[in-house]
Amino acid sequence: MSPGILLVGTLDTKEREFVFARDLIHARGLRAIMMDAGIMGAPVAAPEIDAAAVAEAGGSTLETLRSAGNRAAALEVMTRGACTLAAGLFDEGKVAAVMGLGGSGGTAIATAVMRLLPVGVPKVMLSTLASGDVGPYVGGTDIAMMYSVVDIAGLNRISRPIIANAVGAVCGMVEQAVPASDDKPLIAATMFGVTTPCVMRVQATLASAGYEVVVFHATGTGGRTMERLIDSGFFAAVADVTTTEWCDEVVGGVLSAGPDRLGAAARRGIPQVVSCGALDMVNFRGAATIPAQFKGRNLFEHNANVTLMRTSPAECRRIGACIAHQLNQATGPVTLLLPLRGVSAIDKEGQPFHDPDANAALFESLRQSVAPHVEIVALDLHINDDEFADALAKRVLALMRG
């Protein structure tokens, strides 16, 4: 039997919509597998995976969840059960894609399932929440969020074509053949606007040596996504030029990638060359959003929606210690390159974030905190100098060949 499209949602409130989506999938000659994660009522259309099975896989029973009357606890159990069952089906080769329809509860359950599956597996979520902040639902994976426009509460002249479009999207993804590639070894790299010249030159150098470089925008989500893909075994090495997300993690900016940033490469034991790109800045939204305690700091308005704050010497020391701690866990070869003349486009003489004292504190913290197995190379260059990019790329190649 061919793999099917897993439809995940709460059939106690969305049965008509799910049956409509299921029938459209069948009409295209594909198979649908309905999973009911609702706890109230019994749907007329018997799903392939009923709510009782989902509750049991989540460690409870429907009767227990119903009698408790605790929606949050029930959502947690049903999410856990849906994830467990979906992971098993995928491992058995029975799932080709996942589609969800729902409000807040259905979106939370379905997207939790989607986040478990590898990048490249089609994932479409039709949600009443898709016009807002979907970061917590999408996480670091390739979920396509589609706004339902109206509540998913019946079939009408507005909801029918929208559900049909979502079905068409997920079916098209399943039917789309992935073009063949030459499968060059992949190297991950990190970039910010203020480190673009360095990363682009590194990318070109490594590409000419026969590698494919995948660049991640170091915006929090970018770093988390890269870490997840490294953990999944996608990459042979990392050119981690731009570690700026640690500024937001330590100081309290809006683009943190979390405390595990730099952890995946250490665990996997793959070669990593790490630098200090954009460690001079903490990110906030518009100027009006700057926390009160930072109002008197060196601020730079990058655009109407992004305001940068220069890291202080004390913050740089803390950031250096955190990065060193992560590098010290490495089970593979790791080199730390220090650009002594500046870590970003706006951190050099004449630019607003030029602060030799803060940089000195950063570099000294790194030197003092890294373990002996972490190689440190200090270069009297700016991070965007061609010579720095060439040295970094050369070190990546040396570690991979060594």
Write the pLDDT tens digit of every residue in 96-117.
999 999 999 999 999 999 999 9
Q: How far apart (Å, rounded) are the C-alpha atoms in residues 143 and 7?
A: 14
H helices of 28-103, where?
Answer: 51-57, 62-68, 71-91
Position 164 pLDDT exceeds 90? yes
What is the average pLDDT score of the chain? 95
What local confidence, expressed as pLDDT, does residue 139 receive?
Answer: 87
The first and second tokens of residue 239, run together, are 């050119």
Per-residue pLDDT tens for 341-368?
Answer: 999 999 999 999 999 999 999 999 999 9
- Hey, do 4-175 and 186-401 end up sharing a CATH topology, with the first three levels equal? yes
Position 180 pLDDT exceeds 90? no
Domain covering 4-175: architecture: 3-Layer(aba) Sandwich (3.40)
Give the fold, CATH level 3, of 186-401. Answer: Rossmann fold (3.40.50)
Residue 140 · residue 228 · CB < 8 Å: yes
Position 29 pLDDT exceeds 90? yes
Q: What is the 3-state secondary structure (H, E, C) of 96-157?
A: EEEEEEECHHHHHHHHHHHHHCCCCCCEEEEECCCCCCCHHHHCCCCCEEEECCCCCCCCCC
As a whole number, mean pLDDT of residues 158-187 equals 91
What local confidence, expressed as pLDDT, does residue 313 receive?
Answer: 98
Position 183 pLDDT exceeds 90? no
What residues does each domain of the chain span? 4-175, 186-401
Pairing of strands 299-303, 306-310: antiparallel
Position 44 pLDDT exceeds 90? no
**Residue 260 binned pLDDT confidence (cut-offs 50, 70, 90):** very high
Per-residue pLDDT tens for 168-179?
Answer: 999 999 999 887
pTM, rounded to two decimals: 0.81
- Give CA separation, 347 vs 237, 245, 366, 393, in Å: 28, 17, 18, 22
What local confidence, expressed as pLDDT, does residue 1 receive?
Answer: 72
Percent residues over pLDDT 90 in the chain: 89
What local confidence, expressed as pLDDT, does residue 230 receive?
Answer: 96
As a whole number, mean pLDDT of residues 111-130 equals 96
Position 302 pLDDT exceeds 90? no
**Residue 65 binned pLDDT confidence (cut-offs 50, 70, 90):** very high
Per-residue pLDDT tens for 204-247?
Answer: 999 999 999 999 999 999 999 999 999 989 999 999 999 999 99
Position 42 pLDDT exceeds 90? no
As a whole number, mean pLDDT of residues 42-67 equals 92
Residue 215 · residue 251 · CB < 8 Å: no
Cα–chain center distance at 249: 15
What local confidence, expressed as pLDDT, does residue 161 receive?
Answer: 97
Position 41 pLDDT exceeds 80? no
Position 304 pLDDT exceeds 90? no
Q: How far apart (Å, rounded) are the C-alpha atoms in residues 278 and 293?
A: 22
What local confidence, expressed as pLDDT, does residue 177 receive?
Answer: 81
**C-beta atoms surrounding 175 within 10 Å:** 12
The phi and psi torsions of 114 (rounded to 5 degrees) equal -65, -40
Per-residue pLDDT tens for 322-338?
Answer: 999 999 999 999 999 99
